[in-house]
């Protein structure tokens, strides 16, 4: 009886240690080139909607602006302002991934991305939102904005040549 007690105790201790080790390994995306919202409470991944964009130009006398435009006034994925926001993705070159804020204009979202100056003045790529990208798990990366995001519409650009971005919105 005493040996049975010790055997059950040892098995339960080993089992709990093993399950803690297995659960401490982060869940990673299985798809390459997609972006997921990392839920801080459950550590689960929720896919961001992938929305197609089109490029439009806004001519000006001295400067023309290149704009990325997405149809619809908001993303279907919403988070609350003040929530701890982190995104997980699997991509070959994490340093090219960028986070942008969109401007709502009627029933579209617009991102002024590049300004081209007339008369040989060159072009200027407008900055993205500062974010930290760190290794996450064995083959993925995590993007965390450097400061809390204000209410509005946002997109993550994987810079993979695809005419789409991964979108989300921040509500009050």
Establish if 39 belongs to a structural domain: yes
Chain position carrying tokens 């979108």: 167
Establish if 162 belongs to a structural domain: yes
Cβ pair 140, 124 in contact under 8 A:
no
Please count the structural domains in the chain: 1
Report CA-CA distances (Å) from 26 to 17, 88, 125.
17, 11, 35
Establish if 4 belongs to a structural domain: no
User: Which residues 6+ apart lie within 8 Å of 7 measured at CB?
Assistant: none
Establish if 20 belongs to a structural domain: no
Looking at residue 136, its pLDDT comes to 94
Establish if 12 belongs to a structural domain: no
Establish if 152 belongs to a structural domain: yes
pTM of the predicted model, to two decimals?
0.80
Quickly list DSSP for the chain.
Answer: -HHHHHHHHHHHHHHHHHHHHHHTSPP--SSTT-EEEE-TTT--EEEPPEEE-EEEEE--SSEEEEEEEEESSS-S-EEETTS---EEE--S-GGG-EEEEEEEETTEEEEEEEEEETTTTEEEEPP---EEEEEETTTEEEEEESSPPPSEEEEEE--SS-SEEEEEEEE-
Cβ pair 18, 11 in contact under 8 A:
no
Direct distance between the N- and C-terminal alpha carbons of the chain, in angstroms, rounded to an integer: 61
Domain that holds residue 106: 29-171
Res. 14: pLDDT tops 90: no
Establish if 48 belongs to a structural domain: yes
Establish if 2 belongs to a structural domain: no
Looking at residue 160, its pLDDT comes to 82
Q: Note the pLDDT tens digit of each residue in 67-123.
A: 999 999 999 999 999 888 999 999 989 999 999 999 999 999 999 988 888 777 777
Q: Note the pLDDT tens digit of each residue in 116-149.
A: 887 777 778 889 999 999 999 999 999 999 999 9
Looking at residue 129, its pLDDT comes to 96
């Amino acid at each position: 009886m005493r040996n049975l007690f010790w055997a059950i105790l040892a098995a339960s201790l080993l089992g709990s240690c093993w399950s803690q080790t297995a659960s401490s390994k982060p869940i990673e995306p299985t798809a390459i080139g997609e972006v997921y919202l990392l839920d801080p409470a459950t550590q689960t991944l929720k896919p961001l909607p992938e929305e197609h964009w089109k490029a439009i130009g806004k001519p000006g006398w001295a400067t023309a602006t290149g704009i990325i435009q997405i149809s619809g006034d908001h993303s279907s994925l919403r988070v609350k302002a003040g929530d701890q926001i982190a995104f997980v993705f699997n991509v070959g070159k994490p340093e090219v991934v960028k986070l942008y804020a969109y401007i709502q204009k009627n029933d579209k979202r617009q991102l002024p991305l590049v300004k081209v100056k007339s008369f040989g003045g060159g072009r200027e790529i407008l900055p993205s939102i500062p974010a930290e990208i760190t290794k996450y798990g064995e083959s993925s990366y995590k993007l965390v904005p450097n400061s809390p995001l204000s209410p509005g519409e946002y997109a993550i650009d994987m810079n993979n040549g695809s005419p789409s971005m991964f979108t989300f919105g921040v509500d009050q």
